[in-house]
């Protein structure tokens, strides 16, 4: 396959609009001069060619997704009409079926998406559901930081080496890719009647602070040699004044790599008559000064969605503002928890509109596009289908100002969005949606179009209306095969599951065998997933890790 005459935007290879051909053979990009054997050519003249987009944080599979579907059953009856032989997809935007998720993502040019919250007890189901997601490479981040075995290890003084072995065993057992922490120690503390837990406040049972849990797991990930740093959902999500907690968390990393997820929900001050204000400027300044910190934004967009989070402490607090008035809370014994609360973000609401503005402030104030990622924390801030609209807000100041002017006067008074002149370029948009995600995940063959890269490519018809441009690519290729043409899915393909399996001292298995027998109630050997349980199609990709000294 030859993609000819397109304007290639490939920041990983310092190409910011080079008109050249891209040739894909046997599913991989090869030197464009290798014309021999090219059987098909796409003329991309007037178009922009990018690598397939990568979403590092989107809740696409697992227990939370299914609880949300159960809770919002009326959305499951909203069947979307098929757009071709491969796509009869059901579900609302926030609670789409697994198949619909793959369809909607690839229609926008995404070819890899990562599930950021895999509870270990649900890992088997998460992988089973990801088998049903077409088109996308996937992988999961294992949730640790509230599991009793880990907390007991830390509290008993077992030492960093024992923690490292446990983390490595869990990654291998669940076939996941990275470590996610959700409200470190707070979910566990909720079970002992705590309703809040700040960074230096002790868990009422284990007497561990979130800081201690966080730094111990940062050290584990670093010493195990994982590519992706700790993926942190910090303390006090959604609480006015949590900007101070976020700044303290950045300091707690002490220069070690740390990724702060959906940071918009952690960037709130308490200024003004309503005691709710933007902390985006302070957070962005701290990110700019600390090159070890990366963030994804978790942008709020207006409309109906459903919030689903392992942070049961936060979801319990928010249950009273559910819309519609229903919610689910679930405890996974000795592992984690889950809360599902439907919500409608309204542009006339002071809080919701300011959340929208805070997200944009973060995008526009963080200077390095390699350290900020485009997310809505699907479905928590908004469905991922709103990405094209968000892209236009970032790339088109006039359009952004027009939308900002529609917000209540009180919101405009409390936000600097209108003062920010920055417009993202095509190169920067390719960075935040392709090159930077590939880099933070440690991928050498994704997020770019250089020789050796996988043949995932997207051709956009360049237009001044960036929302229309990014919503409907002219072509999407997966491994060199055309799967979307003129916005219509024309072929079916399945991606790969990415996982890691660091080495560990096998001595940890004796302790875990006893723990599963006595505390959990079934065998550790049953808990561990087998290779045969990973998705069909191209199967799994095991990424190498290297223990650091």
Max CA pair span of the chain = 69
Q: Which residue has the higher pLDDT, 411 or 32?
A: 411
Task: Please report which confidence band the pLDDT of residue 487 belongs to, taking 50, 70 and 90 as the band edges.
Answer: confident
Instruction: Say which residue the tokens 């405890």 belong to.
Output: 331
- pLDDT tens per residue across span 503-522: 999 999 999 999 999 998 88
Question: Which residue(s) pair with 436 in the sheet?
Answer: none
89 token code pair: 């997809």
Task: Please report which confidence band the pLDDT of residue 537 belongs to, taking 50, 70 and 90 as the band edges.
Answer: very low
Alpha-carbon gap, residue 243 to 283, rounded angstroms: 7
**How far, in whole angstroms, is CA 158 from its chain's centroid?**
32
pTM of the model: 0.96
- pLDDT at 184 > cutoff 50: yes
Q: Which residues have C-beta within 8 Å of that of residue 549, sequence separation ≥ 6?
A: none
Among 138, 167, 203, which residue's Cα sits nearest to residue 446? 138
- pLDDT at 175 > cutoff 60: yes
Task: Please report which confidence band the pLDDT of residue 86 belongs to, taking 50, 70 and 90 as the band edges.
Answer: low
Q: How far is CA 383 from CA 83, 122, 216, 298, 419, in A?
A: 20, 23, 33, 11, 28
Average pLDDT value for residue range 360-370: 98
Alpha-carbon gap, residue 427 to 450, rounded angstroms: 16
DSSP single-letter state for residue 56: S
How confident is the model at residue 446, as a pLDDT? 96
Cβ(542)–Cβ(501) below 8 Å = yes
Alpha-carbon gap, residue 308 to 305, rounded angstroms: 10
- pLDDT at 31 > cutoff 80: yes
Task: Please report which confidence band the pLDDT of residue 549 belongs to, taking 50, 70 and 90 as the band edges.
Answer: very low
How confident is the model at residue 302, as a pLDDT? 97
Question: Which residue(s) pair with 173 in the sheet?
Answer: none
Average pLDDT value for residue range 376-380: 97
Task: Please report which confidence band the pLDDT of residue 539 belongs to, taking 50, 70 and 90 as the band edges.
Answer: low
Alpha-carbon gap, residue 6 to 459, rounded angstroms: 8
- pLDDT at 49 > cutoff 90: yes
How confident is the model at residue 442, as a pLDDT? 95
Considering the chain, what is the average pLDDT of its residues?
93
Among 187, 189, 188, 168, which residue's Cα sits nearest to residue 179? 168
- pLDDT at 548 > cutoff 50: no
Q: Which residues have C-beta within 8 Å of that of residue 523, sequence separation ≥ 6?
A: 513, 516, 517
Cβ(176)–Cβ(139) below 8 Å = yes
Give the strand pairing for 138-144 and 178-182: parallel
- pLDDT at 36 > cutoff 90: no
Cβ(268)–Cβ(230) below 8 Å = no
- pLDDT at 326 > cutoff 50: yes
DSSP single-letter state for residue 513: H
- pLDDT at 78 > cutoff 70: no
Q: Which residue has the higher pLDDT, 476 or 64?
A: 476
How confident is the model at residue 191, as a pLDDT? 92
Cβ(107)–Cβ(472) below 8 Å = yes
What is the helix (H) or strand (E) element at residue 2, kind and residue range? Answer: strand 2-10
- pLDDT tens per residue across span 274-286: 999 999 999 999 9
- pLDDT at 547 > cutoff 70: no
- pLDDT at 157 > cutoff 70: yes
Residue percentage of the chain with pLDDT more than 70: 95
- pLDDT tens per residue across span 112-134: 999 999 999 999 999 999 988 99
Task: Please report which confidence band the pLDDT of residue 477 belongs to, taking 50, 70 and 90 as the band edges.
Answer: very high
How confident is the model at residue 439, as a pLDDT? 97
- pLDDT tens per residue across span 418-453: 999 999 999 999 999 999 999 999 999 999 999 999
Task: Please report which confidence band the pLDDT of residue 28 belongs to, taking 50, 70 and 90 as the band edges.
Answer: very high
Alpha-carbon gap, residue 515 to 536, rounded angstroms: 32
Instruction: Say which residue the tokens 């098929």 belong to.
Output: 82
Burial pattern 60-88, b for ≥16 Cβ within 10 A else e, equals: bbbbbbbbbbebbeebeeeebeeeeebbe
What angle in degrees, to the nearest 10, is found between the helix axes of 387-395 and 350-365? Answer: 60
Among 3-7, 55-59, 83-87, 148-152, whose mean pLDDT is lowest? Answer: 83-87
Average pLDDT value for residue range 24-38: 84
What is the helix (H) or strand (E) element at residue 157, kind and residue range? Answer: none
Cβ(170)–Cβ(511) below 8 Å = no
């Amino acid at each position: 396959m030859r993609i000819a005459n397109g304007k290639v935007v490939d920041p990983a290879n310092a190409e910011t609009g080079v008109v050249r051909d891209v040739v894909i053979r046997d599913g991989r990009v090869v030197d464009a001069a290798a014309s021999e054997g090219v059987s098909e050519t796409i003329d991309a003249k007037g178009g922009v060619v990018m690598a397939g987009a990568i979403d590092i944080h989107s809740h696409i599979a697992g227990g939370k997704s299914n609880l949300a579907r159960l809770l919002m059953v009326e959305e499951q009856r909203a069947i979307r009409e098929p757009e071709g032989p491969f796509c009869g997809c059901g579900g609302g935007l926030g609670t789409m079926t697994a198949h619909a998720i793959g369809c909607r993502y690839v229609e926008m040019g995404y070819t890899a998406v990562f599930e950021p919250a895999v509870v270990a007890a649900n890992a088997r189901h998460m992988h089973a559901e990801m088998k049903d997601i077409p088109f996308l490479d996937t992988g999961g981040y294992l949730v640790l930081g509230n599991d009793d075995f880990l907390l007991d290890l830390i509290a008993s003084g077992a030492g960093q080496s024992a923690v490292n072995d446990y983390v490595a065993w869990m990654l291998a057992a669940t076939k996941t890719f990275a470590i996610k922490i959700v409200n470190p120690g707070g979910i566990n503390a909720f079970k002992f009647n705590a309703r809040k837990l700040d960074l230096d406040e002790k868990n009422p049972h284990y007497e561990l602070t979130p800081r201690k849990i966080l730094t111990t797991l940062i050290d584990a990930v670093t010493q195990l040699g994982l590519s992706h740093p700790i993926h942190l959902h910090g303390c006090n999500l959604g609480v006015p004044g949590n900007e101070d907690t976020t700044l303290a968390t950045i300091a707690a990393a002490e220069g070690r790599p740390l990724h702060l997820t959906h940071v918009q929900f952690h960037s709130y001050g308490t200024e003004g008559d309503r005691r709710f204000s933007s902390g985006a400027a302070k957070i962005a300044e701290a990110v700019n000064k600390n090159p070890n910190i990366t963030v994804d934004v978790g942008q709020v967009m207006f409309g109906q969605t459903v919030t689903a989070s392992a942070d049961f402490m936060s979801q319990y607090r928010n249950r009273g503002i559910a819309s519609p008035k229903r919610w689910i809370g679930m405890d996974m014994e000795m592992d984690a928890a889950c809360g599902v609360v439907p919500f409608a973000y309204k542009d006339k609401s002071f809080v919701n509109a300011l959340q929208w503005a805070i997200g944009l402030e973060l995008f526009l104030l963080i200077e390095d596009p390699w350290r900020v990622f485009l997310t809505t924390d699907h479905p928590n801030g908004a469905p991922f289908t709103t990405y094209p609209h968000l892209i236009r807000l970032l790339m088109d100041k006039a359009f952004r100002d027009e939308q900002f002017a529609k917000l209540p006067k009180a919101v405009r008074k409390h936000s600097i969005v209108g003062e920010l002149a920055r417009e993202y370029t095509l190169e920067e948009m390719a960075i935040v949606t392709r090159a930077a995600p590939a880099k933070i995940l440690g991928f050498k063959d994704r997020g770019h179009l250089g020789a050796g890269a996988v043949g995932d490519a997207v051709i956009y018809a360049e237009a001044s209306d960036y929302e229309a441009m990014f919503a409907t690519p002219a072509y999407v290729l997966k491994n060199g095969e055309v799967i979307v043409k003129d916005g219509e899915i024309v072929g079916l393909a399945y991606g790969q599951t990415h996982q890691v399996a660091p080495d560990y001292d096998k001595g940890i298995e004796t302790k875990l065998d006893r723990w599963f027998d006595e505390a959990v109630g079934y065998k550790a050997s049953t808990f561990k997933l087998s290779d045969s349980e990973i998705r069909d199609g191209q199967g799994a990709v095991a990424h190498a890790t290297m223990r650091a000294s």
